[in-house]
Amino acid sequence: MSSSFTIEPSRRIAGTMQVPGDKSISHRALMLGGVAHGATRVSGFLPGEDCLATLAAIRSMGIDIEQHDATTITVHGKGLRGLRAAPGLLDMGNSGTAMRLFMGLLAAQGFDSTLAGDESLNRRPMERVAVPLRLMGAGISTTHGRPPVHISGGRKLQGIRYEMPVASAQLKSALLLAGLYADGDTVLTEPAVTRDHTERMLISLGLPVHRDGQTVSLGGGGQLTGTGIRVPGDLSSAAFFVLAACLAGEGELIIDNVGLNPTRTGILRILELMGADLRVEPAADSGAEPVGRLIIRPSDLQGARIPPELVPLAIDEFPMVFVAAALARGETVVSGAAELRHKESDRISVMVAGLRALGIEVEELPDGARIRGGSFSSGTIDSRGDHRVAMAFAVGAARAAGPVRILDTANVATSFPGFVSQAAAAGLAIKAERGD
């Protein structure tokens, strides 16, 4: 069934809101909770389709998970060797995070596993994870470099020293999960620091992880102990409303209980660089993950050259950067972001096509784009099934000259269930439609 958004121009964005739980942390809480000893109670869990695919996979491998309500669960872990073979293939849906992290977690299990996904996920590259896992001793085969991925059980893993060729938290996390089972140390050096949710959660579960600059190391042979995990609001989801409030003509928006992990706040720094009227109020006691409040007011955004060091700290939010640039005064240059071509869509080409469809002058670059700020016309956007592309254009469409229709929006539910209702409550004139 097809789905679409229609957005009419609107002026005022205001109110106080909370966004759903962090997707990255929710995935990791399920996986690490499942291989810890004892119970891990997770509050603030994101019940989106991506995380529910991970939950179903963990359950199918013999882990009992209680769902107290939509966002509170208890994972009854059975230790590092407590998983058992699933009765069939493990369906990751649209989640690249789940696919790549499970490759690491399952590499040393005593049973075979097969990971598959939907049509979009089955087009995404997996060899960048498979190659270093093979160096550790894993038996992994891909399908012409893509899913389905088959993992042979019963392999003994050895820790490695590995210079990561790309700044990727998914790659780093997959290797750290495999390192839990390896003999010796797993030592990973990143070309740039990426989100550190896996490291923080491993420490919370009782396993030391060491960082020295851009090098992370983990010793094998330890064990994890169940604990309580509070999942903050997802900053990647909050960022859509941060941009909406910046682009508004009037109002003030407050977003409470949002994650402020410094490896995730690149989008806030980029928007501040562009002139966002944005205040961050950290909470005093927020546990392993920093949490706080964002206060955003209408802003006069200016074009900017995006610093390359901020790219890996905001890689998931770049659809919003493209929209902000399109509606800012002056020119914005994005470079060093070739990783965007390997997301749920080729986000560079899809965003460029969408901006042009709304009348924006943009030059596509191999690793980014050069965007001349202007104003959106009315028009139709094909999101290519990419949830972040769809939501970014939905926010920007509030500033268009007339209605904007965004096609192929069903996958918004993978990361942000309730997006349309929350957007409408904040002031966006948005309507979701379904058809044959």
**pLDDT per residue over 381-429, tens digit each?**
999 999 999 999 999 999 999 999 999 999 898 779 899 999 999 999 9
Q: What is the pLDDT of residue 221?
A: 87
Catalytic residue among 50, 91, 118, 316: 316
Contact of 139 with 151, CB cutoff 8 Å: yes
List the chain residues with pLDDT less than 70. Answer: 1, 285-286, 435-436
d(CA 36, CA 41): 12
For residue 38, what are its two tokens?
A: 């004892």
Buried/exposed code over 104-141 (b: 16+ C-beta within 10 A; e: otherwise): bbbbbbeeebbbbbbebbbebbbebbbebbeebbbebe
| Residue recorded with tokens 């071509």 | 341
pLDDT at 281: 96
Q: Collect all residues with Cβ–Cβ distance below 8 Å to 340 and sequence separation of at least 6.
A: 315, 318, 346, 347, 348, 368
- Which of left, alpha, beta for 275 (phi over 0: left; psi -120 to 50: alpha)? left
Q: What tokens does 319 get?
A: 């659809």
Residues β-bridged to residue 37: 78, 225
Q: Parallel, antiparallel, or unpaired for β 291-297 and 253-259?
A: antiparallel
Choose among 280, 360, 366, 296: nearest CA to 328: 360
179-196 residue pLDDT tens: 999 999 999 999 998 999
- Per the annotation, the verdict on 316 as an active-site residue is yes
The pLDDT of residue 330: 97
Give the torsion through C-alpha atoms of 83, 89, 92, 93, to 10 deg.
-150
Q: 250 - beta bridge partners? A: 12
Query: SS3 for 188?
Result: strand
Helices assigned H by DSSP within 36-139: 49-60, 96-106, 127-135
Region of residue 374 (left: phi > 0; alpha: psi -120 to 50; beta: else): beta
pLDDT at 120: 86
How far is Cα 91 from Cα 96, in angstroms, rounded to an integer? Answer: 11
Domains observed in the chain? 2-21+232-435 (3.65.10.10), 23-230 (3.65.10.10)
pLDDT of residue 286: 60
What's the confidence (pLDDT) of residue 189?
Answer: 98
Pick from 85, 102, 80: nearest CA to 35: 80
> Can you give the pLDDT at residue 436?
54
Return the ∠ at Cα 123 (arms to 118 and 126), rounded to 5°. Answer: 105
Q: Is 83 left (phi over 0), alpha (psi -120 to 50) or beta?
A: beta
Q: Residue type for 428, please? A: L
